[in-house]
Structure formats: structure tokens, C-alpha cells
Structure 1
Amino acid sequence: MRFPFAHRPESNRSADRGEQVTDTFGPSALRVGAKSLELPGGVCASFAVAGYPREVGAGWLEPLLTYPGRLDVSLHVEPIPPLIAAQRLRRQLARLESSSRSNADHGRMADFTAEAAADDAANLAASLARGHGRLFRMGLYLTVHAADAEELEAEVQRVRALAASLLLNAQPTTFRALQGWVATLPLATDAVRLRRAFDTGALAASFPFTSPDLEPRLGQTPVLYGLNAYSSGAVWWDRFAQDNHNSVTIARSGAGKSYFTKLEVLRLLFHQVEVAVVDPEDEYRRLASAVGGTHIGLGAPGVCFNPFDLPEGQDEDTFIRRALFIQTLVAAMLGGPLAPAHRAALDRAVVAAYAARGINSDRRTWGRPAPLLADLAAQLDRDGSAEAADLSARLAPYVTGSYRGLFAGPTTTRPDGHLIVFSLRDLPEETRPVGMLLALDAIWRRVANTGDRRRRLVVVDEAWTLMHESEGARFLYRLAKSARKHWAGLAVVTQDAADLLASDLGRAVIANSATQLLLRQSPQVIDEIGTAFDLTGGEKAFLLAAGRGEALLCGGSGGDRAAFYAVAGPQEHDLATTDPAELIELDAARGHAEEVDPL
């Protein structure tokens, strides 16, 4: 029998479109045999699984999913209403018990298969009654592909042997070859309908994304990290379900650490996790633009960030803490701690600058426009003391000099939203500690806001740049220690493994990170990495030879480990890549699209 799937005319424009559709979704025609189908590119045979093992574990279908040949595996799941499931279980129990009693009355030997089935049915009924699980109808179908009939016969024998090793009874869909093939297509259509009742636990173990190598605790924010490097099973991880929510990612330059971090940020945003990023190289701009996030380019022309702004919804001592932060900020601007006399003069000037704008410790005044750094300098000039005059003179570069751009006016972009990116690329080296302190202060205020509790993640990319600054180092240490108490996680991403492992701060970050990710390492630091993370010889060899995007996940209280490689969809890849060649192509394609359709 020959069934044409589509007619492909050659004469008009719609014909080309129809040809593209049929080439994408199916063949133009096929020949149906008793046990096989002939397709334009080869032949295939389908099987329906009629028998299953009595007990299964996590990832028990993994051998089928990782079969080296071309094998399509389709799992059809249909829930059974609880009332119908309970009725059927009662009838099944009645039949099994009746059969057992009949055998005993007539002196026949016990049927151990029936007794095991009765025990299973009783356990299922008890689980349903307590609401611990449900029943589902599940159909498992396989389609084997080959180039010709001879090769297909050999592939069929290997697949049936593999199924038999898993205690699966795979029966060919004789005289229903077309229906069997359609059942393995991504159409959610099951015309064969050879089903088996599964409970919740067995169905969960049969789910194709179950990894037998890693059994993490999954909560409400599971993220697909990638595919297992050895078994091709999916590696899922939920940082918010671990003992703490912190992570550390260490890799050499070009190994894909920032690419992977962007993928995790994107997928956590789907779970409504608020993310803040400290971005030294401005790599997250396109990502923030695509998802409607907030991008603050500190140091860029026209971008101002006023440190005197009072946050909304804070505690009663917010005004006092803001005044103390201004003193810390001024100390960073001047390059060292302040003497007691200078600190006293600065405190008087800060309070006076707020008072000149009508702002004091009364919460009702906090909505008024905040003073600027120029207002603080003016109050120092009015103070009249030698210490105040000295502070005003030393602050001149930030008020009227070449560093004034960041503090010249009110804040241009508020650090609000589901994704906040602080870019530090445009900050000159002389003002980078100051800009970094402003960004970290804004992030900490959101994390520590007790009036707005939610899951948050703070990503510090290229963390080695922060660790070289005293204020950045203290921020990382404080957040690593206390982030969990504020329902937040710290993600430290760095390529300088030596600096991280050689400092007390680095070791504290690692010790307080339940999620540890290692990508490709250089031979110079692999021994130090191996000692710090207790790696085996095979794991060190994997990290030395790992390709771009391949990583070793070390996490969980039980020391779970899995080698995986990151996977991304086309749109995710476009947002995460930093390859200059790919970025040029993306910009060219975007410009062409705007020329074609300017709207």
C-alpha cells in the first residue's frame, strides 16, 4: 500500500512553501508492509512493549535512550481518575483473592505470580487511599530505523535483545506498522493503545529526563543544567533545594563558564527568581534587553547613580544606615580610612545635606528629592573646620573634576526589576572601586529587604576583579555567609582559580557553596583544584580534556557528582554567546530584518 502524504506542485510560490513544510514534518510518501515501513531515506520497524519488570529504579530506560543506532522511543501517559482507579483495583484484588482461595480449596499449588500481583494491588490501593500517589495508563513504543531491509533486521535483533535485558517484552506491531510508527512521532497520537497501569513512583522513574547518576533534591525551581556526558541523561539541579543556595564556577578562559551562567539565569527567570548581576565586561546587556531587565552601565556617558537615594519600604534605621554608607563611600573615594576628626566633620555635613532638602529620620520625608554629592561638598565648605575643608578639597575630582559624571545628577535608572545588571566596563580603573561599591550596596539593600521576601540570585561574574578590592571582597564574604537567611544565593564565577583557593575569602566562598561547578582547567592549577575539591584521577583527566561547555557538577549533602555538557536552544544560544564571529552575524541579521520590516 502506498499513502501519499502531500501533493507537491511545482508551478507557484506556494509550492515551494509546501515543499518546505513536507520536508520538515514528514516524507512525501511511504510503503507500508506487514512489519515495516519503507521511507524515502530508509526503512523502519516499530514495537510495542507488552511486558514490564515488576520493579524499576530511577533512569531504568536509560539504555534505550542512549542506544547507539537510530531508535525512537515514545512514552504515552494518560492519568486515570482516582474513582475509576479505586474501582478497578478492588475488582483486580477480588479476582486475585478468589483465584488464590480456589487453588487452596482444590489442593492446587500456590500461584506465586498471582500472590505477588495481589500484594502489589493492595499496596497501590493503600497508596491511593492515603493520597500518596495516582494511577496512569502508560504505553511504550519503539521504532528502529535503518538504511535497508538487511540492516534493519540486524538492528531489530539488537534492540529486542536490549529490551529483553531490561525485562521488557517488545512485540512487533504486525499489520499495524503504520500505527506503530505514528505512535513514536511527536504527535501525541497513540492508535496502538497497548497500555499498562503505572503508579506515580514507577512513572517518575520512567520519565526520560531521569538521571540514574545524580539524584538531587528538587524543589520548585529545578533547572536543566545539561546532558550527562556519559549516559546522555538529563542533569537537573535546584540550587534553592540544597543546604545553601550558593554556587562557585571555576574554569579557564574560554571554557564556557559565562555561557553556562547565562543559561541558568534565563531558566531561573522562568521560575520568577529575581537575579542581580555584577558584570565587569558588559556581557549581559543583550540578555537584559531581551527579557526586559534593567541595565545600568556605571561610568557610561549620561548615566548617574546618586548614593544619597533612600530606598523605599525599609526599616526605621534606614536613614542612619544611609548616612553611615555615605561615610564608607567617601572613604573609598579618598582611598583610605578617615581619621576620627574627618569622620565627625563628614557626619555633620551628611546630616546637613539631607536637612537642606527637608529629609530627616521621619519616614514621611524620605520621598523628597535626595541631595547630591555637590550638596555634600557645599555643606563641608560651610562647616568652617579644617577637616571639612580638607575633605571638600579631596572630593573635588568627584564633584567638579573628571570623575563627576557618575555623581553629577539624580539617578537615571533605578535598580528595580526581575533582572538587574550592573555593568562596570565603562568605569575607569581609578573609580572602579567606587562604582563597584555602589552596585554592591544596591544589591545588598534588595537582598536584605525584609519587606520583600522572594528567591534571589546574585551573580558575580569574573569575581577575581572584585576580590582585588577590599570592599568587593568584604561583600562577597558577607553574602556567602548570610545569603541563605535572606532566601538568596550567591553565584561566584571566576577564571582565576589560584587567587580563589589561595585566599581565606575564596576558601570561605567554596566552603559555603552547596553547588560547585568545574569546567576545563589548565594543567598548572589542576593539582590544586583536585586537592580542594577531592577529585579522583579520572575527574582531573576529564577536566583537563573537557570541551567547551563540558563541566563537572559537585553538589548535594551526599557528594553527588555528574559530568555533563550544557545544552541551549537557538534563542538561548543567541543571547548567551560571546563569540565575536557569531555576534557579527547576529547584528547583520538583525539589521537586515529591520530593513525588511522597519515596524
Structure 2
Amino acid sequence: MKLRNRSHTGVRNRQSRRLAAAVAPASVEVTPRFIRVGDGYAATLVVTGYPAEVGPAWLEPLLSWPGRLELALHIDPLAAPVAAARLRDQRARFESSRRVDAGRGKLADPVVEAAAEDAADLADRLTRGAAKLFRVGLYLTVHARTEDELLEACAQVKTAAASTLIEVQPATWRHLAGWSTTLPLATDSLQMRRTMDTAALAAAFPLASADLPAPLPGDPPTEGGVLYGVNPDSQGVVWWDRWAQENHNSVVLARSGAGKSYFVKLEILRNLYQRVQVAVIDPEDEYLRLADAVGGTVVRLGMAGVKVNPFDLPTGDSRPDVLTRRGLFAHTLIAVLLGEQPPPAERAALDRAILTAYRQAGITADPATHHRPAPLLRDLEACLHGDDDPAARQLAARLAPWVHGSFSHLFDAPTTTRPDGHLVVWSLRHLPEELRTVGILLALDAIWRQVDTPGWSHVRRLVVVDEAWLLMRDGEGARFLFRMSKAARKRHAGLAVITQDVADVLGSDLGQAVVANAATQVLLKQAPQAIDGIGGAFGLTAGERRLLLAARVGTGLLISGTSRTSFEAVASAAEHELCTTRPSDLAHLDDEEDL
């Protein structure tokens, strides 16, 4: 029996050594001012002074500091007899100081008077059992990549602490002990303690705020942004600026009826106030009332007389590779029309036909020819028929439904509508289901031609793709959307992807890449069948999952990096009239218009 226990102990020791070798830093260098752990630097600050009074979440300025900061709070309860004895001694010292000052004819020290009153009040609460005393040590370990960055980070943390009257001092010559103290080992190697009562200690919790972190003291105030809503937990205002993030993209994921289009329309309206130009892909005519109210332009794809020529060249773009880029888009369009990437022989024939069609229309690489009318899809098919390669004729036959058949009405004439204005809505409601994906691609291409035009990079543009699952289910369409999400930031544009089919977005590598390239992520109410996928993709806690499962309409979670907060969209009466799609609200508005 003893041998077996030794064997098990040896196995555990070997497992512990292997774990330590895997997760421990390669080396630790100790200096008076900091320690170097692996490739980074760290320094520990000890809280030595506390404010006389604290309010709820008094540690928030430290917890919301944007850098890497490890905060450790070591708490040891004091036994009631020990606490009473120490408090009695403290009160005796205060009383002795007051009597000495009175005997010498000195005025009373206000600091001593306040401390004596606080001690008397604490003694009274301690006697009645309304409070307890604790020995508390508060330590902060700041991490940085270089020594200079560490010094600057420590200065910022000291400033943040000073904003709430907290005094901190570096653990000079004891940074190794400080670093180990802030590790999750439940060991206080510094033993720099301060006695606190229950109320002061409870005010330090929870260790995370429900609101987004505020700017650090001394930082310039933030400008811009729009109102997203109100935090239902703290009643704080959720104000967010997508244009101040590392990229301007966003994703909105929610089940049907959760209020995602309502929320997006509010954001569009509030961005229009700030001179942002917005283009919307609208599959269900949900944005027409908004467009009509603000004087926007509506392009109704599928309606009689509305044509879009995918071979149009960008207006005002004189770059030498314009024709090449239009040819590459033509390849993407044909792949979407056919539902697959053509075989290599057909792709080669298609490339020849594209160049021939432009050449026959009098358009070459010379920018002076780019104002001429662009060829149509039927011109491309004629070039394929004129090619001696059998693969070209095969491809022409496959394109027949889009040139002469049931799907030809969208491409059989030059473009009839110029999509200009501060708000352009591309309506897809009148397109057959078989043409929805193609319609989204054509609209996105027309939008991208405007975004990519040189000389307009100073204008902020927001591209909204509602029901993006229609495009994500097609490989070429998903790749086009991914390329736009990657390149939009360099052109001062943002891509907003909205979808109710979470599986189509998170179930593919391209969909996950689109989500990963969105600095602003909004999750509204989710279906129980999708919550596991959503929770795994966004690292949701159990409480956040419950929030999204039981969320009311328009209530959700805003996520950006390590910052996340819940919010409830709020709107004025005028905004609600423009954004609502609830049948009862629309019927009421129609009745008022009739009156």
C-alpha cells in the first residue's frame, strides 16, 4: 500500500514538473525597478493610501485601465476579539492625542477629530455585529513589452489611482515578490496590509463595471460616436464610435424579430447627422420609409425598367488598372451566375471574351476611352460564341438563361439609375429568389466602385448589408464580402453585416473571417439552437448566454475586443416612426396619414 502511494506521488510530481515546464516563463530577471519575465517587463505597485470615503466600484478607474494590469486583492478576516482590541487601542491613541493638544492649548487637529469619530462609529457597528474588520492588501502588477513602455504605463496607472485619491508606491527591490503576489496563488508575499470594514470592502466589488471603460484621467475627451442605447444594468448611456476603432466594420447577429433592423436603422439615422454617407442592401424593403424621410435614393432592382450593367467602369477613376479590375469582377459575377467556379478551360475562354467585348466597345487600357458605353452581358456571350474553343461555346450555352432566358431582364440594357446621395437603398424585394444573391453582388459592386474612387477617401461611408446570409451561402459572394471587409478601412469606410442565420456566417471560414474583421460586434436575442455556436465564437459567459436567450426586443450585447456591455436601444418618437416595422405600428401610422 505504501509503495503504491509513493508511485502515485511520483507520477503527480512528474506531471507537475511537465506542466511547469510548459507554462512557466523561460527566465526571470530581477532588477530594483522591475522584473523581466520572458520577453516582457513587469512592475508591481502597492496601494499604500486610501481615500477617507469610498463609493460603489471605487476600483473602477484601475480595472478599466486599457493596458495589461493584474490587480490582486488579498483579504484576511480579523477575529472579533482581535478586532475589538485593536480598535480599542486605536481609539485610545486618538483620545490621548486630543487630550495632549488640549492641555497644551492647541487647536483640535481636524484629521484626528475625523479619525476619532470614524473609529467610534466603527466600534459601535462592530459591537452590534453590523460590521467586521479585515486585513486587506491591494497590489497592481503592470506589464509592458519594453522598459520605456513599462515606465509610461506605471505613470498612467498612478494617475488613474490618484483620480480616486488612492496612493501607490513601487515595490522597489521586491518586484519578484510583488509579481508572485498578483499571480492566482493566494499568497501575499509583500504583506502590505490595511484594515478595512465590511462596507468599504464590499464597495470594491464587483471587480468589473457593467459599463464601457471611460477615458483615463488626462486623456482628451472623446468626440463623435452615436447613441446605441441605455445599459439596463447601470442605467448608464452606451455611446459608441465605430470610426474610432481599429477598423470601422460591424456585425449584428440576432434571430428573426429581435430588433436588429430597428437598431441598424437607428444607427444609420444618427450617422447621417454626422455627414456619413450610407448605402444599404435591403432585401425586404425595410429601409424605404427612412430613405423617403431623409431624401435618400432608392434603387428597386427587379422593377420594370431598372437595369444594372455589371461591366460599367467607375466614373472618374483614371488608374491604369481599372479595366483589369473590372475583368476580375466579371469573373466573380459569372461564377455567381453559374453557382460554381467554371473549369480552367472555360475561365481562359471567359478572360479572352471579356477583353474582346471591351475592345469591340472601343474601350482599352487608355483612360481616354473609359467614357464610352460599356459592353453588355449579351456582348460577352457573342464573343464566347465567336471563339473557336469548344469550352467557350459551352460557357456561352450555360449563360443563355441570363442573356436570353428568364433571368435576362436585369442585364439586357445599360444602367438606368445613378445611385448617388447621402443615403442609397438598394431594394431587392422585387427580385426573384434565384436573383437575390446576384442582386446583392451587383449592388455591393456599385457601392464599392464609389468607395474605391480616388479623391473620396476623406468621406466617411457606411455600407450596410442586411440579411447577409444570402451572400454568405455562395462561395464567390462570401469572398467578395470578405475582401470588402479587409479593404474598407483604408478607404475610410465601414461594412455593417446583419444576419439572422448565424450558422451560415459562423459555419464557414470566410464567415468567421468577416466576423473577426469587425471591431464592433452586436449580439441581440438568440435562438437556443444557436447559442452554443455564438457562445463559443464570442467567448460568452454563462450569464451573457442567459441574457441573449431571454433578451427583450432591441436588447443585446455590444462587444469590442475585451470591452463588452449590455444595452437596450432607445429612440425618440420621430425615430421610432421611421424605424419600426411592427405591423401594428405601421397600421397606426397609416391611419394617422389618412386623417
User: Which category of TM-score, normalised to the shorter sequence, fits these structures?
Assistant: 0.5 to 0.7
* CA distance in 1: counterparts of 2:54 and 2:490, whole angstroms: 39
Aligned to 1:403: 407
CA positional deviation for 1:236? 0.4
* CA distance in 2: counterparts of 1:502 and 1:379, whole angstroms: 39
* CA distance in 2: counterparts of 1:343 and 1:499, whole angstroms: 28
* CA distance in 2: counterparts of 1:449 and 1:533, whole angstroms: 35
Asked if residue 547 in structure 1 is aligned to residue 547 in structure 2, the reply is no
Asked if residue 349 in structure 1 is aligned to residue 347 in structure 2, the reply is no
* CA distance in 2: counterparts of 1:109 and 1:228, whole angstroms: 50
CA positional deviation for 1:111? 9.5
Q: 1:372 aligns with which of 362, 376, 398?
A: 376
Q: 1:420 aligns with which of 424, 431, 439?
A: 424
Aligned to 1:536: 541
Pairs within 5 Å for 1:102-117: none
Give the TM-score taking structure 2 as reference length.
0.61
SS in 2 for 1:474: helix
Asked if residue 263 in structure 1 is aligned to residue 262 in structure 2, the reply is no
Aligned to 1:483: 488
Output the amino acid matched with 1:466. Answer: L
Are the structure 2 counterparts of residues 57 and 590 from structure 1 closer, same or farther at C-alpha, using a change threshold of 3 Å? Answer: farther
Are the structure 2 counterparts of residues 393 and 495 from structure 1 closer, same or farther at C-alpha, using a change threshold of 3 Å? Answer: closer
* CA distance in 2: counterparts of 1:216 and 1:313, whole angstroms: 43
Q: 1:213 aligns with which of 211, 214, 229?
A: 211
Output the amino acid matched with 1:326. Answer: A
**Structure 1 gap segments, 5+ residues each:** 1-52, 61-106, 114-164, 166-210, 593-599
Asked if residue 282 in structure 1 is aligned to residue 285 in structure 2, the reply is yes
Aligned to 1:577: 580
Aligned to 1:473: 478
SS in 1 for 2:424: strand
* CA distance in 1: counterparts of 2:540 and 2:391, whole angstroms: 56
SS in 1 for 2:418: coil
Contact 2:258 / 2:524 at 8 angstroms: preserved in 1?
yes
SS in 2 for 1:431: helix
Contact 2:252 / 2:498 at 8 angstroms: preserved in 1?
yes
* CA distance in 2: counterparts of 1:501 and 1:327, whole angstroms: 26
Output the amino acid matched with 1:233. Answer: G
Output the amino acid matched with 2:575. Answer: E
SS in 1 for 2:488: helix
CA positional deviation for 1:549? 1.1
SS in 1 for 2:255: coil
Aligned to 2:134: none
Aligned to 1:294: 297
* CA distance in 1: counterparts of 2:480 and 2:583, whole angstroms: 32
* CA distance in 2: counterparts of 1:385 and 1:446, whole angstroms: 36
Pairs within 5 Å for 1:429-468: 429-453=433-457, 454-468=459-473
Aligned to 2:524: 519
Q: 1:390 aligns with which of 390, 394, 406?
A: 394
CA positional deviation for 1:58? 12
CA positional deviation for 1:57? 10
Asked if residue 309 in structure 1 is aligned to residue 312 in structure 2, the reply is yes
* CA distance in 1: counterparts of 2:322 and 2:249, whole angstroms: 27
Give the TM-score taking structure 1 as reference length.
0.60
SS in 1 for 2:426: strand
Contact 1:433 / 1:471 at 8 angstroms: preserved in 2?
no
**Structure 2 gap segments, 5+ residues each:** 1-50, 59-104, 112-198, 200-208, 216-220
Contact 1:440 / 1:472 at 8 angstroms: preserved in 2?
no
Contact 1:462 / 1:494 at 8 angstroms: preserved in 2?
yes
Contact 1:278 / 1:421 at 8 angstroms: preserved in 2?
yes
Aligned to 1:332: 336
- 1:179-237 Cα offsets, whole Å, 9 max, x none, are xxxxxxxxxxxxxxxxxxxxxxxxxxxxxxxx982235675431001112123222100
Output the amino acid matched with 1:379. Answer: C
CA positional deviation for 1:367? 1.5
SS in 2 for 1:430: helix
* CA distance in 2: counterparts of 1:342 and 1:523, whole angstroms: 45
Contact 1:357 / 1:371 at 8 angstroms: preserved in 2?
yes
* CA distance in 2: counterparts of 1:361 and 1:383, whole angstroms: 22
* CA distance in 2: counterparts of 1:401 and 1:468, whole angstroms: 24
Question: How many residues are paired up?
Answer: 396
CA positional deviation for 1:384? 5.1
Contact 1:255 / 1:520 at 8 angstroms: preserved in 2?
yes
Output the amino acid matched with 1:533. Answer: F
Query: How many percent identity over aligned positions?
Result: 60
- 1:530-567 Cα offsets, whole Å, 9 max, x none, are 33323333322222222111112222x4x222222111
* CA distance in 1: counterparts of 2:310 and 2:292, whole angstroms: 25
Aligned to 1:492: 497
